[in-house]
Amino acid sequence: MDEVWQGRDRDRALRLSWRCNEYEFAKRLDLPLMGSAKNVRAIIAVAIDAVYTARHFPELRISCSRRNGWWHETRRYRDPDFTYYNVVPAIDALVDAGILVDYDLQPAGRATGIQSSCRPAPWLADVALPDLRYEVGEVIRMKDIEGHLVDYRDNDRTRRDRAMLTKINRCLADADIGFNVPAAIRDGNAIHLDGYAVFPSMTALYRVYKGGWDRGGRFYGGWWQSCRKTHRQHLTIDGQRTVELDYQQIHPRLLYGLAGLHLEGDAYTIPGWDRDVVKKGFNTLLNTQDFPEARGAIAKNLGVDRDTAEWLILDITTRHPDIKSYFHSGIGMSLQNIDSEICRQVLVAMYRKGIVALPVHDSFVVPEEHEDTLSQVMRTAFDAVAKTARKLF
């Protein structure tokens, strides 16, 4: 199941996507007895997630809805064996057994926006997990504007993308994606790196839309996407060193293209301002609906007062008068849809050439020997999608 943050800083959604040798796992943890085979599968899946969380995210709570309607609404994104009628009882049984603790029980009858949550017992961090494999489940995902997974009807786009991702994910699963970082600490199924962890068994990609098929659509799921850029340079593919190429300033370039113009210079360089501050402010302007919202969001995101935020907006607008009509217009998710289509075309083109490409939103990692091929494919994809986008805006 997709990681869905529930609005509280220390919650993560229950994941029912890890699989392992159930007999081996049951020998390592004394689980409560359950009735049917489906109930046994459910309690093992919840317990695996509890151990996983205790070992790698001990500061987080695990959240899960107790509303039957939610389980019905999100059934597309789960193994059909995992339902309200066996997962919720499994959680209750694990709470009674002391495997899950500190249960914050929310009302089950209506949607409140806050799910029930608990903590894995701290001693679970010492339980060794068998080799885990990750099942990605539904690879085409739709969220509402608040970020909650919702159901949808399949269409030509979803069928096309699902077939495409099935092929690419098979290619990624067959590739030997390595990681040569001396400071990395391997812990069973995880690699710990300078304050965070990655999970190399997570190689399958999925695509996430938000609020409509013309909003969002970026690709997620690959463990390399969680790596910092300084660490990604140590990736290997089938034993070969890699290179990462990105679309620099992709959203400013797309906006100028939509306006029928060409971006001159660095979009984020403005005298008197740090470049990273300008970049964050620029992106905030694209993802807000009006000036007051933009000013407040920039003040909050950058930790500045509203007057400073207003000066930053003024300077960005002065730097980019030709595209100012797009600022605080809510165009950000539409731009993500455009850049995700560029990514799709790059992935498809590289797959057809038999080259493994690891996407990181607006960049791609490939073996060094294929750098020139990737560069050409990226230029072709950008020009083709940008040309189509100009006709739609």
- Concatenating the DSSP letter of every residue in 122-172 gives GGGGGSPP---EE----SEEEE-TTS-EE-----HHHHHHHHHHHHHHHHH
Element (H, E) at 342: helix 332-352
Q: What is the pLDDT of residue 391?
A: 65
Structure token digits, residue 114: 């806050």
- Residue 163 buriedness (CB in 10 A; 0-12 / 13-18 / 19+): exposed
Q: What is the pLDDT of residue 11?
A: 82
**What does the domain layout of the chain look like in residue ranges?**
11-120, 140-249+333-392
Q: What is the pLDDT of residue 98?
A: 95
Give CA torsion, residues 126, 23, 138, 77, to 10 deg.
-80
Q: What is the pLDDT of residue 112?
A: 61
Element (H, E) at 220: strand 216-220
Mean pLDDT of all residues belonging to the chain: 91
Q: What is the pLDDT of residue 7?
A: 36
Question: What is the amino acid identity at position 224?
Answer: W
Q: What is the chain's length?
A: 393
Q: Please, are residues 83 and 21 in contact by the beta-carbon 8 Å criterion?
A: no
In the chain, count of helices (H) and strands (E)?
Answer: 12, 18
Q: What is the pLDDT of residue 376?
A: 97
Residues 220-270 have pLDDT tens digits of 999 999 999 999 999 999 999 999 999 999 999 999 999 989 999 999 999
Q: What is the pLDDT of residue 294?
A: 95
Residues 81-140 have pLDDT tens digits of 999 999 999 999 999 999 999 998 877 655 666 789 999 999 999 998 888 889 999 999
Walk along the chain (393 residues) and give the pLDDT tens digit of each residue: 343 333 334 688 899 999 988 888 888 898 888 888 899 999 999 999 999 999 888 899 999 999 898 899 999 999 999 999 999 999 999 999 999 999 988 776 556 667 899 999 999 999 988 888 899 999 999 999 888 899 999 999 999 999 999 999 999 999 999 988 888 888 878 888 888 889 999 999 999 999 999 999 999 999 999 999 999 999 999 999 999 999 999 999 999 999 989 999 999 999 999 999 999 999 999 999 999 999 999 999 999 999 999 999 999 999 999 999 999 999 999 999 999 999 999 999 999 999 999 999 899 999 999 999 999 999 999 999 988 877 666
Which residues have CB under 8 Å from 229's CB, separation 6+?
A: 244
Q: What is the pLDDT of residue 6?
A: 35
Q: How far apart are CA 350 and CA 266, in angstroms?
A: 29
Structure token digits, residue 85: 């009628």
